[in-house]
Amino acid sequence: MINPLNSFNTNWIKPVEKAVWNQNIPSAMNINVDGRKITSPIRGFGQMWLRTYRIALPAISHTPEEVMALWKEKFSSFWQTGNSIYFTGGDIQPGETCLINLTLPGGIRLVTGAVVIYADSTSFALATVQGHMFAGWIVFSCYQEGDVFAQTQALVRPGDLFYELSFRLGIGTAAEDRFWHQTLRNLAKYFHVENTVQQTNLLVDSHIQWQYFPDLWYNAGIRSGVYLVTSPLRWLVNKFRKS
């Protein structure tokens, strides 16, 4: 039996309020992460949802620990084309910040981030940063229930009014579901398994928390759009500075 106090010390992030991102990845937009508050589903704007996606990996010879180790190692490669995640240390450890570059329907770019708040041999958890579509936690886990299962579970509130509207209209939920279904199917394919994803949704709290309306200011979608539109201007300014 492992000392539970050690598991607190090694598996959980040390208390921090804000994400730190001080890298410059040339192939990515490096915005909307550094200095942003780490969110919680308890302090988000919209309705609280628990969304669970899982896929069975029948007849594989790997343990949940082995599947998780591989999932962590190749995490970004299982995402849909056009979407990337970069970790500060290149590894999924408690306290690591990650930069997320997403391509939304219509080719819209959205840059945001998350922080690893928990990790062990069969699971890890991310907390999103302010401005992300959701205020909340996403837990990735592998476990044995007859077959080995790989699971993504998100406890989230849409982060602001716009994201809440996209959820209510079904646009945000459809994109989210498509993303995680594809990710889990890609993971399964790596183990030569073709299977469907099982999904359950639970509305935990239907209340809107209007006190978090000001979080709209940090909306990563709007800020990413502004950043892209003004990039020619930044290019010109940099050119003048150099000359």
Partner 1 sequence: MTDKPMRISFGNSIANRVLIELQGFLSAQVGAQFQKLIEVIKGQPQKPVLIDFSGVESIDGSGLIQLAVFLTQLKNIAGSIAGYGLAEPMREIFAFSHIQDLVLIFPDEKAALTGVYEER
Strand partners, 203: 49
Interatomic CA distance for residues 215 and 219, integer angstroms: 7
- Nearest to residue 213, comparing CAs of 45, 79, 96? 45
CB of 151 to partner 1, least distance (A): 9
What is the full DSSP assignment across 152-195?
EEEEEEESSHHHHHHHHTTHHHHHHHHHHHHHHHHHHHHTT---
DSSP tag of 197: P
Sketch the per residue contact string, 185 through 204, with partner 1: x for CB under 8 A, - otherwise. -----------------x-x
Q: Which of 20, 23, 143, 195 binds partner 1 (CB under 8 A)?
A: 143
Interatomic CA distance for residues 56 and 38, integer angstroms: 32
Considering only residues 145 to 164 of the shown chain, the ones binding partner 1 according to CB under 8 A are: 153, 155
Q: What is the CA radius of gyration of the chain?
A: 19
CB of 123 to partner 1, least distance (A): 6
CB of 70 to partner 1, least distance (A): 19
Q: What distances in angstroms separate CA 203 from CA 50, 52, 139, one per listed residue? A: 6, 12, 17
Q: Which of 31, 36, 41, 57 binds partner 1 (CB under 8 A)?
A: 41
Stretch near partner 1 under the rule CB under 8 A, chosen from 24-32, 55-63, 100-108, 118-126: 118-126
Considering only residues 50 to 79 of the shown chain, the ones binding partner 1 according to CB under 8 A are: 50
- Judged by CB under 8 A, the number of residues near partner 1 is 37
CB of 227 to partner 1, least distance (A): 29
211 counts as binding partner 1 under rule CB under 8 A: no
Strands, sheet with 109-119, edge to edge from the N-terminal-most edge strand: 84-87, 97-103, 109-119, 123-128, 134-145, 147-158, 48-57, 198-205
Residue closer to partner 1 by CB (options 43, 185) is 43
222 counts as binding partner 1 under rule CB under 8 A: no
137 counts as binding partner 1 under rule CB under 8 A: yes
Interatomic CA distance for residues 143 and 166, integer angstroms: 32
Contact indicator for 62, 190 with CB cutoff of 8 Å: no
Residue closer to partner 1 by CB (options 87, 137) is 137
CB of 241 to partner 1, least distance (A): 40
* Interface with partner 1 (CB under 8 A): 1-2, 4-5, 7-9, 11-17, 38, 40-43, 48, 50, 117-118, 120, 123-125, 127, 137, 139, 141, 143, 153, 155, 202, 204-205
